[in-house]
Structure formats: C-alpha cells, structure tokens
Amino acid sequence: MRHYIILLLFFFPAGSYAQNITGVWEGIMDDEFLQVNIEQKDSVLCGYTYDYLLANTNNHCRAIFSGSYDKDKMKWTITGESFLENVGGHTFMRITMQMGLTDDTLWVKAGPKNFMAKLLGVGIISTYLLKKSKYTDIHRWMRPCFPKEKKVKKAPPVVDTLIIVPQKSEAIPAPDSATISKLMTVRKQTTQSRLVINTNQINLKLYDNGVVDNDTISIFYNGKLLVSHQRLSEKAVELNIHLDEKVTIHEITLFAENLGGIPPNTALVVITAGDKRYELRSSASLEENAVLVFEYKSITN
C-alpha cells in the first residue's frame, strides 16, 4: 500500500493545482528552440510564441496566439492567429500544455493548426518539456493583452456632521492711519505710470479694475495720507487734488490694505487734468505700492 501511494504521487503532477501560467516558458523541441510568452486572466490566454532552428537562428518566427484553460482537464490550449515575424516559411501551431512535476515546468505537445497538414503528418511534434524563464518582459513584441483595471476610489466614510454655530464677536479693526503711513514707507515703491500735465488741479476717480472683489486702498499725495479704507467698486472713489506749484514732481501712491478675493489689488484710475483725460491701471500688493507720477509744467514755462 505504501508503494502504491508513492507511485500515485510520482505520476500525479505536483503542480496540477496551479491554474495560472502567466510568464515566459522556454525549451527545445527536436531541432528548434521555442519560447512561449503567456498572459492568462481567468481561463483566457493570449500572447506570442518565438521559435527558431538551432542550426540556423535566422530561420525564425513570432506569432500571436489566443487560447483557453480547461479547468476540468487541467489543460491549456493555444492556437497561432497572426505573425509578427516569419522568416523561413513557418506555419501556425496548435499547442496543448499541462503542468509538469513542478510549477516551473510544462509538458507541451505541438502540432500544425492547419487540418490538411495534420492529415499529411506535417510538423507533428512529440511531447517535450518547457521550463519557466527568469526573463519577465513578456510584452516586448506586443502590448499587454488585457487592459489594466482602473482603481475605483473608495468613497469617504459617512460620518455625522458636527455643526458649529459661530458666536458673535467683534470685527477685526482696520489699521489706523499711523500704521498705514508707517507700512506705506516700508513697502517697495513702484512707478506704474508717468504723466506730464500743465495744470495744478487734477481730478482722480478710482474703480475696481475687473471683478469687484472687495479691494480696499489708502491714497497718499507726496507721502501725505489723503484717505484710507476706501473700497473699490464700480462706483468711483473720487478725489480733487490741488498740486503744490512749488514742486515739479508729484506722486499719488495707492496702498493696498488687502488683496480682495482675487489678488493683487488692482484699480482703474481715471485722471482729468484741465482739458485732458487719462485712464491708467495700477496693481498693488502687500509688498509693493503703486505710484502714479505727475510732472507739473505750467503753460507759462
């Protein structure tokens, strides 16, 4: 009885329970080298074969195959479908495979796919052994047979929502005039426009340039704070300024108190000086002031 059990173990393939043979398998069949590149998903097989004559390696072919796995018979069958390369007049083969004594071996039987060739006994090959190769690039000559499965993002777990009711609190006060004046001198002064005018009376109208997003500014004339906490909108912030005739160069500085909803703090400045009208655009940030320079030259000069 003991010997009978040993014989059963010997003749029953150790790897019979293995069901997936994805990988590269290689071996010698008579006078040819054969490599089978297999990709298996469930019971479906695909891939390609590569074989050449041992006496003449230039006589070779690569053929795409399709196939299936018979779970009941524990047998894989593949059939050549199209050539990637064919040098030497090779024909398509039909190959059946069963697991060898170990999971890294396959018993293989190959024959011609063509029915007439079978009848004539052309290309009938006896059973031989393939061994699994360490070479893993099974897609070198063709794309993967099966598309990669897309990972489905898991929805976040549902949790109870905690609603927090804000308590009434005091608004954050805007900076006072002294603070604004100090910050104005610290920031970089960037000249964004320069005009030559011949009148000492100018009218400024400032609008938000683009989307009204709660930009707030302070306005200086020659370093002196004229107004602060002015919100720019489609309605003008208007100033009439009398220029000091003793000074040639005059500077209007726009100081950004915030950046609104869409940085930076931008303004459309409409200037009326005598009979001339100008439209300027300024851009200020929390590091940089926008400076408009006016060079005054009287008509008598």
Mind giving me the DSSP string for 129-154? EEEE-S---TTSSS--SSPPPPPPPP
State mean pLDDT over 73-102. Answer: 91
- Going from N- to C-terminal start, the domains of the chain cover 2-132, 177-296
Q: What pLDDT score does 24 carry?
A: 94
Highest mean pLDDT pick, 6-20, 75-89, 160-174, 286-300:
75-89
The CA angle 39-42-43, to the nearest 5 degrees, is 85
Helix (H) or strand (E) holding 115: helix 115-120
Higher pLDDT, 124 or 68: 68
CATH class of 177-296: mainly beta
Higher pLDDT, 151 or 185: 185
Q: Does the pLDDT at position 18 exceed 70?
A: no
Q: What pLDDT score does 171 carry?
A: 44
Q: What pLDDT score does 167 carry?
A: 47
Q: What pLDDT score does 164 carry?
A: 43
Q: pLDDT digits over 188-235, tens only?
A: 999 988 999 888 899 999 998 877 878 889 999 999 999 999 999 889
CATH topology of domain 2-132: Lipocalin (2.40.128)
Q: Which two three-digit tokens encode residue 47?
A: 């891939």
Measured CA to CA, the distance from residue 284 to residue 259 in angstroms comes to: 8
Lowest mean pLDDT among 120-129, 183-192, 285-294: 120-129
Q: Do 2-132 and 177-296 fold alike per CATH?
A: no
Q: What pLDDT score does 122 carry?
A: 46
Measured CA to CA, the distance from residue 177 to residue 183 in angstroms comes to: 10
51, amino acid identity: D
Q: pLDDT digits over 110-162, tens only?
A: 888 765 445 444 445 567 899 999 887 787 777 788 876 666 667 666 555 44
Lowest mean pLDDT among 72-86, 234-248, 252-266, 270-284: 252-266
